[in-house]
Amino acid sequence: MNKFWILIIAVVGLNYQLYAQKDAKSTKKKPNVIMIMADDLGWGDVGFNGNDVIKTPHLDKMASNGVTMPKFYAASPLCSPSRASCLTGRDPFRTGILAAHTAALRPAEKTVAEILKGDGYKTGFFGKWHLGWIEPDKVESRGYYSPPSFHGFEHYFATKSAVPTWDPTKTPERWKGFGAKKDGSWGGSRYFENGEMVTENLDGDDSRIIMDRAIPFIEEAAKNDEPFLATIWFHAPHEPVVAGPEYLKMYKNVDNIDKRHLYGCITAMDEQIGRLKKFLKKKGLDENTIILFTSDNGACGSQMKKGAASAGPYRGHKHQMWEGGLRVPFIAEWPSHFAKGTVVNEFRGSTNDLLPTILALTGTKMPKKPQVDGVSLVPVFEGEDMPRDKYIASGFRRLYKGIDLYALIGERFKICIPDKKEQTMVMYDLKNDPYETTDVSEKFPKEFEEMKEELEKVKNSWLMSRDGADYTY
């Protein structure tokens, strides 16, 4: 063979190798993402945080197979604000979500669903929305119509807010609160799927009802070889807390009826997470699927008073700025990437961090970056000793009820107005006093004043954002 043909063969071979490398790179599958959120699940309401009574075997296994963060915070001590932070990476006061049933998520907010959708992801939402009304033709006195489809979700099966955790279209026998009707029907939120009210397959466990819609969405995306974002926000264990007969039997030796219902409800949710995991494995999706699990705030105060819910060793509960209202369970699992049993003990994470973390893990760029308050957790997932370069700030406001609460959390110190009954700003040394027993504002006056000044700067930044600084007209 002469030199000419040897050269031609060499050039063709080199081009083929380069093409193959380029093609392999271009066809490398992006990871799927599943965001799971419980509602009012306290830090101490799961086995992997030390609860040895409530049965959460599937969550416990996820924790042992992935990453946990004992110092993980909801962006607010109640539902809607924290949900907004999960989707936007922004402090809730920045987006205008100051409490539940106040306004709605503005369409101008850039969500993780919108961003991933623009990168080729199929996007679906399942469960409790609580970021605006979802009934197209209904006008209500508080808030406005802003369903998941306004925020990047191509498919949704959602309720506006809370429903009973068993038989969600019926008023529970023991329930006398919101949504209760004398005829036994449910007077609160109803399920809507892509704008149409749902009437079928709404009996029994609500977590199962939600998963019955989420799994087909995932299956369809996998069938079409499309990466997906599935956001699954359970109602469990928010009030009205009801467990079905089979789950109550699991706790027949527990003498407190409220405990039996709460524990059974949480176990039923855990069972559906196990069902999801089994499905992913069966379809060969588990190795390339990132699952992030957390709660929207700490344990419900009324459930704690009944001796049921738990904040673990921490002080306070939902609607309060103490650790018990803000610290929540957290798991990140990606079998092909995260080391098993990783516990991030020192770093303080936040629901604000979910958006930047997901974008970093999927290699997705934010098209136009607004003011984002979260940070990527990927370095700490991978074992880096990374200091947090910004405070975690939180707020909760209902002025007509005299509620205007704030917290600013650093690596060591935390300042907060903890509760509407205690309107004085206090300071805790979380490094040496994580259970917030002693106000150290007088012991560390310099640090106290510096943090108060920083909080005022943050609050002013929030005000500028929600007044229009981050939006295009």
Question: What's the confidence (pLDDT) of residue 23?
Answer: 38
Tell me which of 472 and 80 has the higher pLDDT: 80
Question: What's the confidence (pLDDT) of residue 14?
Answer: 46
User: Count of domains in the chain?
Assistant: 2
- What mean pLDDT comes out for the span 441-457? 98
Last residue of a domain, one of 334, 351, 381: 381
Question: What's the confidence (pLDDT) of residue 79?
Answer: 95
Report the run of H or E that residue 403 belongs to, with start and end: strand 403-409
Say how far apart CA 49 and CA 280 lie, in whole Å: 25
Q: Do 281 and 417 share a domain, yes or no?
A: no
Residue 327 resides in a domain: yes
Residue 121 resides in a domain: yes
Residue 242 resides in a domain: yes
Backbone angles phi, psi at 197, to 5 degrees: -70, 135
Q: What is the CATH number of the domain that holds 62?
A: 3.40.720.10
Q: What is the CATH number of the domain that holds 452?
A: 3.30.1120.10
pLDDT of residue 24 exceeding 70: no
Nearest to 446 by CA among 413, 418, 406: 413
Confidence grade of residue 21 (pLDDT, cut at 50, 70, 90): very low
Tell me the residue range of the domain where 79 lies. Answer: 31-381
DSSP result, 167-201:
STTB--TT--STTB-TTSBB-S---EETTEE--SS
Confidence grade of residue 103 (pLDDT, cut at 50, 70, 90): confident
Q: Do 305 and 403 share a domain, yes or no?
A: no
Q: Do 343 and 431 share a domain, yes or no?
A: no
Question: What's the confidence (pLDDT) of residue 26?
Answer: 39
Residue 301 resides in a domain: yes
Q: Residue 249 is which amino acid? A: K
Q: Do 182 and 277 share a domain, yes or no?
A: yes
- What mean pLDDT comes out for the span 273-299? 98
Q: What angle do CA 410, 328, 389 make, to 5 degrees?
A: 25
pLDDT of residue 426 exceeding 60: yes
pLDDT of residue 12 exceeding 50: no
State what percent of residues in the chain have pLDDT above 70: 94
Q: Do 364 and 225 share a domain, yes or no?
A: yes
Residue-wise pLDDT tens digits, 200-257:
999 999 999 999 999 999 999 999 999 999 999 999 999 999 999 999 999 999 999 9
pLDDT of residue 368 exceeding 80: no
Q: Do 130 and 190 share a domain, yes or no?
A: yes
Q: Do 271 and 303 share a domain, yes or no?
A: yes
Backbone angles phi, psi at 468, to 5 degrees: 125, -5
> For the ranges 21-30, 111-120, 403-412, which has the lowest average pLDDT?
21-30
Q: Do 241 and 188 share a domain, yes or no?
A: yes
Q: Do 397 and 370 share a domain, yes or no?
A: no
Q: Do 364 and 451 share a domain, yes or no?
A: no
Nearest to 67 by CA among 335, 425, 338: 338
Question: What's the confidence (pLDDT) of residue 417?
Answer: 98
State what percent of residues in the chain have pLDDT above 90: 87
> For the ranges 11-20, 221-230, 260-269, which has the lowest average pLDDT?
11-20
Q: Which residues contact 250 (CB under 8 A, 6 or more apart)?
A: 55, 263, 264, 267
Say how far apart CA 159 and CA 168 lie, in whole Å: 10
Confidence (pTM): 0.93
Q: Which residues contact 415 (CB under 8 A, 6 or more apart)?
A: 407, 408, 425, 426, 427, 428, 441, 448, 451, 452, 455
pLDDT of residue 82 exceeding 50: yes
Residue 373 resides in a domain: yes
**Residue 205 is encoded by which pair of tokens?**
């466990």
Residue-wise pLDDT tens digits, 130-165:
999 999 888 878 889 999 999 999 999 999 999 999
- Count CB neighbours of 334 within 10 A: 21
Last residue of a domain, one of 342, 362, 381: 381
Question: What's the confidence (pLDDT) of residue 2?
Answer: 54
Residue 335 resides in a domain: yes
Nearest to 421 by CA among 321, 332, 330: 321
> Angle of helix 79-88 relative to helix 354-362, nearest 10 degrees?
30
Say how far apart CA 83 and CA 296 lie, in whole Å: 7
Report the run of H or E that residue 211 belongs to, with start and end: helix 206-223
> For the ranges 75-84, 300-309, 416-425, which has the lowest average pLDDT?
416-425
Question: What's the confidence (pLDDT) of residue 174?
Answer: 87
pLDDT of residue 119 exceeding 60: yes
Confidence grade of residue 443 (pLDDT, cut at 50, 70, 90): very high
DSSP result, 49-72:
GT-SSS--HHHHHHHHHSEE-TTE
Residue 435 resides in a domain: yes
Say how far apart CA 273 and CA 345 lie, in whole Å: 25
Q: Do 158 and 213 share a domain, yes or no?
A: yes
Residue 23 resides in a domain: no
Residue-wise pLDDT tens digits, 400-411:
999 999 999 999
Confidence grade of residue 473 (pLDDT, cut at 50, 70, 90): low
Last residue of a domain, one of 356, 381, 406: 381
Confidence grade of residue 101 (pLDDT, cut at 50, 70, 90): confident
Backbone angles phi, psi at 331, to 5 degrees: -140, 140
Nearest to 408 by CA among 423, 392, 397, 396: 392
pLDDT of residue 433 exceeding 50: yes
Q: Do 344 and 450 share a domain, yes or no?
A: no
